[in-house]
Amino acid sequence: MRLLRAIPGVLGWLLLAVLCAWAWHLKDPHLRFLREEELPLLLAALCAAAAIAWRSARGARRVVALALTVGAVLAALGHELASRQHRLEVNAASGPVAQALGARFIVGYDDANDLRELARRGLIGGIFVTGRNVKGRSADTLRAEIASLQALRLAAGLPPLVVATDQEGGGVSRLSPMVPRQPALASLLDADVPAHELLQRARAYGAQQGGALAALGITLNFSPVVDLRPGRAPGRWDLHTRIEERAISSDPDVTAQVALAYEQGLESAGVRGTLKHFPGLAGVTEDTHHMGAELRTPVARLAAHDWKPFQDVSKHSDAAIMLGHVILRELDADAPVSFSRKIVRQVIRGEWGFQGLLVTDDLTMGGAYNRGLCNATLGALDAGVDLLLIAYDHDKYFDAMHCALEGVRRGALDPRVTERPRAPRLQPLR
């Protein structure tokens, strides 16, 4: 009986510990679905857990329960106040430095009206359009929404917004059925056809997709996937990356040829593609959507094998390159590739001589966010990355932009970060 009576108290202490951890991570992107109710729900749960722990405790333990509860409440309120303050300060920002930093951000959204002032005043450089923006809507509605944002830019004398999406084909077809669904690019290899016909089909695939995207006002597509197929099923904790299902081939030459033909088709319609996810995720087993990851493949192997599609396609097209949130310890043990100054400046810009568009994967993914959003933001800007993507949890844009503004104010960033990034063109590329 004594053991049974102790159970509620133990559960209360366990719940209190969990809630304290939640308080220190208030507004984590994984809990975005609770955003409106998160703080009151947390505070109510803290009070309930503290009451249970208090009733089961005596003496010093009650003091501990009270201290933990008060600390968690203060931490949660601090996060809430900081978030609101960042939003206020960013919304009030103006001037050439604010516009130059804003031009570095591509931001997702629920309601385009929330972006109108940011777009008009040059505090963002682009928008990310995905499934939540097309669900239950018509192509005409989305097209008019994008056009209205671009009209604000034109009237303000600002460059057009980058309008990005994630339409790979196959399982990652964010704008379908508004954009006709196509099978994965890898399906083109299923047909037993000569190489020249395969490339014609890939080019036609890209042109068809590019035409549908351009008709909506999309200018940058986060495709093709040029990670090599790892030849294994996704791991237990790989919920979203799933490269085996999205990659073109395990052969770097085949991948490069098909990806280049596809990219040429996209560009013929006026849409730029994006080679992803550098440095190649074939050797990664963790899912960077939720956790940190390390690529253990030797750099010599990567340079001779996995990096070939990135180099070959980028040399013969205007494709951008997306940087993944993986640690490549042999080159930089401290920062993921997406904000590694060593890798961006020494390898991509230096050894490769690539001067095209570099964009991070979503900074609200666990592989970057868990290392500190401010750290990731300052690191990517300092490394020389052109565009920082904040797609899933767009509220985090205000925290990241505030950090960038503070970084310039404190002199923590190279002055060159206030130069405008290389913007994708809106006209058909030749």
Which neighbouring-strand residues pair with 389? 106
Q: How many CB atoms lie within 10 A of CB 260?
A: 26
**Known active-site residue 289:** yes
209 burial level (CB within 10 Å; 0-12, 13-18, 19+): buried
Bin 162: left if φ > 0, else alpha if -120 < ψ < 50, else beta.
Answer: beta
> Of residues 79, 289, 325, 402, which has the active-site annotation?
289
Whether 362 is a known active-site residue: answer no
d(CA 87, CA 305): 44
> Of 287, 306, 361, 399, which one is the catalytic site residue?
361
Question: 3-state SS of the chain?
Answer: CHHHHHHHHHHHHHHHHHHHHHHHCCCCHHHHHHCCCHHHHHHHHHHHHHHHHHHHCCCHHHHHHHHHHHHHHHHHHHHHHHHHHHHHHHHHCCCHHHHHHHCCEEEECCCHHHHHHHHHCCCCCEEECCHHHHCCCCHHHHHHHHHHHHHHHHHCCCCCCEEEECEEECCEECCCCCCCCCCCHHHHHHCCCCHHHHHHHHHHHHHHHHHHHHHHCCCEECCCECCCCCCCCCCCCCCCCCHHHHCCCCCHHHHHHHHHHHHHHHHHCCCECEEEEECCCCCCCCCCCCCCCECCCCHHHHHHHHCHHHHHHHHCCCCEEEECCCEECCCECCCCHHHCHHHHHHHHHHHCCCCCCEEECCCCCHHHHCCCHHHHHHHHHHHCCCEEEECCCCCHHHHHHHHHHHHHHCCCCCHHHHCCCCCCCCCCCC
Determine phi and psi for 114, rounding to 5 degrees. Answer: -70, -15
Q: Closest Cα partner for 216 from 175, 181, 158, 184?
A: 175
Amino acid at 400: A
φ, ψ of residue 238 in degrees (nearest 5): -90, 90
Query: Which residues carry out catalysis?
Result: 289, 361
